[in-house]
Amino acid sequence: MNAQDQRPDDDAATTVVISYPSDLSTWGRDKLDGRPFRAYLQKTLGAVEAGQVTEEFTGVGCCGDTLDVPLAIESVEGGDRVDESTEIEYAVRDSCEVEGGWRVQSAAGPTE
């Protein structure tokens, strides 16, 4: 990485509020709120802005739960880049028919 590619720490957001759909299961919410998933977001989101939506895979667990969960950036405080120092907060928004439950891994589950 050369000096032009490096971004100063003051570009890091202090807090990012990310919303998930209200119909996300309890298991899915637990996955989002866990330390591993928060660390994953801190390492992969990069530059963000309010209104941006990203679909993230949370896993299906042993009995299935969700495929991809649409996460929306609701607000960004500080800089415009998420890094390991950025605090991630969650908010709940209207449902969007997130598929979940045991059907994810069964023949009767979603195929998309």
Tell me the CATH number at 60.
3.10.330.10
What's the pTM?
0.75
Contact in structure between 76 and 50 (CB atoms under 8 Å): yes
Residue 77 structural domain: 11-95
Q: What is the pLDDT of residues 65-80, one digit of tens each?
A: 456 789 999 999 999 9
6 assigned to some structural domain? no
3 assigned to some structural domain? no
Give the number of domains in the chain.
1
Q: What is the pLDDT of residues 9-41, one digit of tens each?
A: 579 999 999 999 998 878 788 889 999 999 999
In single-letter form, the type of residue at position 97 comes to: E
48 assigned to some structural domain? yes
101 assigned to some structural domain? no
Pick from 56, 54, 58: which is nearest to 27 by CA?
58
Q: What is the pLDDT of residue 46?
A: 96
